[in-house]
Amino acid sequence: MTTYTDMNGITTKIEVEEIGWSCLDASTIYKATITEFSIERGIISVQTKIVNGDGSDYRPRYYRNHWNGFTHV
């Protein structure tokens, strides 16, 4: 899923993709890539983080990936 927001000439693009499951409660874990850019300045910043379904940061050290293995955060 991709969403765009525009504020004061700076566009924020958030791309979210499912990457696995939490080892603690079996909830789905996502990778969010946040890109800020403008037409005048080009790409300003790119950040990647692991998040829960509600968009909050995922804190545990490991999650279970789609191949049923463990991945370090």
User: What are the pLDDT digits (tens) for 45-54?
Assistant: 999 999 988 8
What is the H or E stretch that residue 22 is in? strand 10-22
- Per-residue pLDDT band at 58 (split at 50, 70, 90): confident
- Per-residue pLDDT band at 19 (split at 50, 70, 90): very high
Domain count across the chain: 1
Name the residue range of residue 61's domain.
2-72
Quick check: 3 pLDDT over 90?
yes
Of 6, 11, 10, 28, nearest in space to 19 by CA: 28
pLDDT score, position 51: 93
Average pLDDT estimate for 24-32: 89
